Structure 1
């Protein structure tokens, strides 16, 4: 798929999706001027969003929402304050999550109160370091109240440095 620089309409569209899905100020922060997009060859719809050759996000074909990648999550972490879009986990399980394992509710230390089931979330340690990107299985209140069950299904985890 060929990458092309996003024009005004495309930039407005992807920012609007981000604002709807995450919160009103996220679109401008996540997708600055100069982003590039790749379109699906079959449907012509936006599929991948890049900035400086780094993949920030994917637009899911089934529902049109954004699936974050690690670089996109890093941008959100730098430009927002904790606990915005975050699930904070205990340090002693970071090594398991990096291996791609899911986050259980009993290991969650803090969570953005606005998180609902099936939301895209950023998993961080107690020092706000990126660990993974995943999909919430529980609401924020449930994550903090439950002692059993999966709280976040991990999609992409950061590799160990």
Structure 2
């Protein structure tokens, strides 16, 4: 079991109410078009994992892989690559995306930070601490991360970090 799951007591198959809660979380953070994700999942492969101490939802597993994590401080849905791939398919461009220069993609694969000077386009509604999909100029998914600054600051700034890369797509 990974370190992030070490504090989780048990995982169980979700009830209808829990699936509805997942749909609400996806809709709230990523828009109404994300409901298609849950409709296309095999619900038998979905597991909800809970904290030992608080009994609150902490992680969602799909086919024994981390699908999403729930941040304890604000109940924010943090996507991992399996969910990010599905989000990338259903969310229209450029929503929830940061587009980086193609030449920098190999460097991103070995790094944990994307700098403002490498961001060329994205969703104008991105705020600090939003979870974003990181894509190249052809809208190929590179990874997921957390915006450090707003989209406006990313585009206008010539230096400084813009996105903290959380996880990358294996190539």
TM-score by length of 1: 0.89
Aligned to 1:92: 103
Aligned to 1:139: 150
Superimposed CA distance per residue, residues 74-117 of structure 1 (whole angstroms, 9 cap, x where no aligned partner): 00111122111110101111112112331111101111112111
Alignment of 1:22 with 2:30, yes or no, is yes
Alignment of 1:152 with 2:163, yes or no, is yes
Question: Structure 1: any 5+ residue segments left out of the alignment?
Answer: none
Deviating above 3 A after TM superposition, structure 1's stretches of 4 or more consecutive aligned residues are 29-33
- For 1:3 and 1:148, the matched residues in 2 are separated by 43
Q: CA RMSD in A?
A: 1.7
- For 2:32 and 2:155, the matched residues in 1 are separated by 25
| Cα contact 2:114–2:164 (8 A) shared by 1 | yes
Which secondary structure state, in structure 1, belongs to the residue aligned with residue 52 of structure 2? coil
TM-score by length of 2: 0.84
- How many angstroms does 1:153 deviate by? 1.1
